[in-house]
């Protein structure tokens, strides 16, 4: 066995060998392949633990005051929404990988086992650490070969919202879904307290209709847009009790910026990649642009009950993958043409003359494993959304640890838009 002192004195050259030996002492591998939202790890903590919608938090093992985690890089199958399951790469059975949660000042030791068909590494995006722990394959460490385990160890110097992802064959591995959130709470639980704390990773994918494996070399033309690797109507709602202080943290490892828009509230941006913002710099917003490679945290007081959409405001990012290359038929009268085409092809349809809403009503047959362009049914009809779309559900009298979907909001009488007769 390698002692801790030898381990620290080992230096870069011995790192590989020493770490492989230590790997025998790695914590048990925790894995999860469900896309249900896991309950936060309360366990009598002084701070409010984060909730990863459609995701989970990796439980640590305490070893002589060090918090130990075990990540396993591997192929995973992820249901993006019912009807579409995608062949991804991720960690511990899921994409995004499990959220790592710790406290400022904690020493963490993270074992990384590589079960991928090619080498990998893990970069701790935004975390202040010694250079040799930065996880850049070929630069700060050798790449982790398939079948091998490496260990990273560092002290968390500051609180905030961070991420992890490979820095080996980055383009392919991140495109396939290898990413996770790393949340560090302030040491003093009275600093920045909230009642609910959510974290979401944004991503994009290019999966051809009728197939299940993302095209990892696509640069800009993606057709699937996800919150925590789920597309609406597969995205879990965010819940809040009336009056709760809610924090939403969003990280972006996709290849596009995403202006995330929340209905019904003005929010204050309280944190960026660089840290927390002083009160005087907490700008009020209703749409928070989250640039590529960046994190944003914003907060609100949930004082207005209802079902409030939160979605990317690039509106093709709130749609499913079908038909983004369709010709513009707006205003084109195509009734005669359809008759002529029908003489040649039975059942041919022409659409788009009056807009695209009819697409969802028709419930067209779709290629296998492919989501419709617009989907989701609300209490008053089709929702005509997809992709990066979810709901903040604010309810009266919700218990602090209640994260179950309460169903649709019931509007108080007289508080809803309605049809009237025009003279
Ligand atoms: Cu977007």
Beta carbons of 308 and 409 less than 8 angstroms apart:
no
What's the whole-number mean pLDDT along residues 49-60?
Answer: 96
Give me the pLDDT at residue 34, please. 92
Distance separating alpha carbons of residues 225 and 231, to the nearest angstrom: 7
Domains and their CATH numbers in the chain: 24-316 (2.60.40.420)
Q: Is the pLDDT of residue 187 over 50?
A: yes
Strand runs labelled E in 45-189 = 61-63, 66-81, 84-91, 100-103, 107-114, 123-125, 149-155, 160-165, 180-185
pLDDT single digits (tens) 276-315: 999 999 999 999 999 999 999 999 999 999 999 999 999 8
C-alpha 312 to ligand 1 mean position (Å) = 5
Q: pTM, whole model, 2 decimals? A: 0.88
C-alpha 250 to ligand 1 mean position (Å) = 12
C-alpha 311 to ligand 1 mean position (Å) = 8
pLDDT single digits (tens) 111-154: 999 999 999 999 999 999 999 999 999 999 999 999 999 999 99
Give me the pLDDT at residue 193, please. 92
Give me the pLDDT at residue 2, please. 34
Higher pLDDT, 19 or 315: 315
Distance separating alpha carbons of residues 32 and 94, to the nearest angstrom: 6
Give me the pLDDT at residue 392, please. 98
Give me the pLDDT at residue 221, please. 86
Higher pLDDT, 172 or 12: 172
Give me the pLDDT at residue 61, please. 94
C-alpha 140 to ligand 1 mean position (Å) = 33
Give me the pLDDT at residue 23, please. 45
C-alpha 190 to ligand 1 mean position (Å) = 34
Higher pLDDT, 314 or 369: 314
What's the whole-number mean pLDDT along residues 338-343?
Answer: 66
Distance separating alpha carbons of residues 19 and 174, to the nearest angstrom: 25
Q: Is the pLDDT of residue 248 over 60?
A: yes
Which range of 152-156, 208-212, 381-385, 397-401 scores highest in mean pLDDT? It is 152-156
Nearest to 181 by CA among 296, 269, 288: 296
C-alpha 3 to ligand 1 mean position (Å) = 48
Q: Is the pLDDT of residue 22 over 90?
A: no
What's the whole-number mean pLDDT along residues 207-216?
Answer: 89
Beta carbons of 371 and 285 less than 8 angstroms apart:
no
Distance separating alpha carbons of residues 401 and 399, to the nearest angstrom: 6
Q: In this structure, what token pair is assigned to residue 381?
A: 């009809």
Distance separating alpha carbons of residues 72 and 30, to the nearest angstrom: 9
Q: Is the pLDDT of residue 45 over 90?
A: no
Owner of token pair 């041919």: 348
C-alpha 203 to ligand 1 mean position (Å) = 9
What's the whole-number mean pLDDT along residues 93-114?
Answer: 97
Give me the pLDDT at residue 362, please. 61
Q: Which ranges of 109-253 does DSSP label H, i.e. alpha helix? A: 170-175
Give me the pLDDT at residue 411, please. 96
Owner of token pair 């790192």: 15
Q: Is the pLDDT of residue 162 over 90?
A: yes
Higher pLDDT, 45 or 333: 45
C-alpha 287 to ligand 1 mean position (Å) = 11
Distance separating alpha carbons of residues 207 and 88, to the nearest angstrom: 11
pLDDT band at 322 (very low <50, low <70, confident <90, very high): low
Higher pLDDT, 373 or 199: 199
Burial of 367 (0-12, 13-18, 19+ CB in 10 A): exposed
C-alpha 83 to ligand 1 mean position (Å) = 22
C-alpha 319 to ligand 1 mean position (Å) = 10
Query: Across all residues in the chain, what is the average pLDDT?
Result: 88
C-alpha 263 to ligand 1 mean position (Å) = 16
Helix (H, G, I), strand (E, B) or coil at 104: coil
C-alpha 399 to ligand 1 mean position (Å) = 32
Enumerate residues 6+ apart whose C-beta is below 8 A from 51: 37, 39, 40, 196, 197, 198, 199, 238, 403
Q: Is the pLDDT of residue 366 over 70?
A: yes
What's the whole-number mean pLDDT along residues 238-253?
Answer: 97
């Amino acid at each position: 066995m390698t002692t801790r002192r030898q381990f620290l004195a080992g230096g870069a050259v011995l790192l590989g060998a020493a770490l492989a030996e230590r790997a025998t002492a790695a914590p048990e591998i925790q894995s999860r392949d469900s896309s249900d939202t896991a309950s936060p790890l309360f366990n009598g903590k002084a701070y409010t633990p984060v909730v990863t919608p459609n995701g989970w938090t990796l439980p640590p093992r305490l070893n002589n005051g060090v918090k130990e985690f075990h990540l396993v890089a591997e192929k995973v199958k992820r249901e993006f929404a019912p009807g579409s399951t995608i062949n991804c790469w991720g960690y511990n059975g899921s994409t995004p990988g499990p959220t790592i949660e710790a406290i400022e000042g904690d020493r963490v030791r993270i074992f990384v086992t590589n079960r991928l068909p090619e080498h990998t590494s893990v970069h701790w995006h935004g975390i202040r650490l010694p250079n040799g722990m930065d996880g850049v394959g070929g630069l700060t460490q050798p790449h982790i070969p398939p079948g091998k385990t490496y260990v990273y160890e560092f002290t968390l110097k500051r609180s905030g919202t961070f991420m992890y992802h490979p820095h080996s064959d980055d383009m392919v591995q991140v495109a396939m879904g290898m990413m996770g959130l790393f949340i560090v709470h302030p040491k003093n639980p009275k600093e920045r307290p909230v009642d609910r704390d959510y974290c979401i990773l944004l991503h994009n994918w290019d999966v051809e209709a009728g197939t299940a494996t993302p095209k990892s070399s696509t640069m800009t033309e993606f057709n699937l847009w996800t919150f925590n690797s789920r597309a609406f109507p597969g995205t879990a709602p965010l819940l809040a009790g009336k009056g709760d202080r809610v924090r939403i943290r969003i990280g972006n490892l996709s290849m596009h910026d995403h202006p995330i828009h929340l209905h019904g509230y003005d929010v204050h941006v309280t944190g960026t990649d660089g840290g927390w913002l002083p009160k005087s710099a907490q700008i009020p917003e209703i749409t928070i642009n989250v640039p590529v490679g960046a994190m944003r945290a914003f907060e609100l007081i949930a004082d207005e009950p209802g079902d409030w959409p939160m979605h990317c405001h690039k509106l093709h990012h709130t749609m499913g993958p079908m038909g983004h290359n369709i010709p513009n038929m707006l205003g084109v009268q195509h009734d005669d043409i359809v008759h002529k085409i029908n003489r040649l092809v039975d059942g041919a349809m022409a659409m788009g003359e009056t807009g695209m809403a009819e697409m969802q009503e028709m419930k067209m047959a779709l290629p296998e494993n492919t989501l419709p362009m617009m989907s989701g049914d609300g209490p008053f009809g089709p929702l005509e959304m997809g992709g990066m779309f979810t709901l903040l559900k604010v309810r009266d009298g919700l218990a602090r640890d209640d994260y179950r979907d309460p169903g649709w909001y019931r509007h108080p009488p007289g508080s809803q838009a309605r049809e009237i007769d025009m003279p």
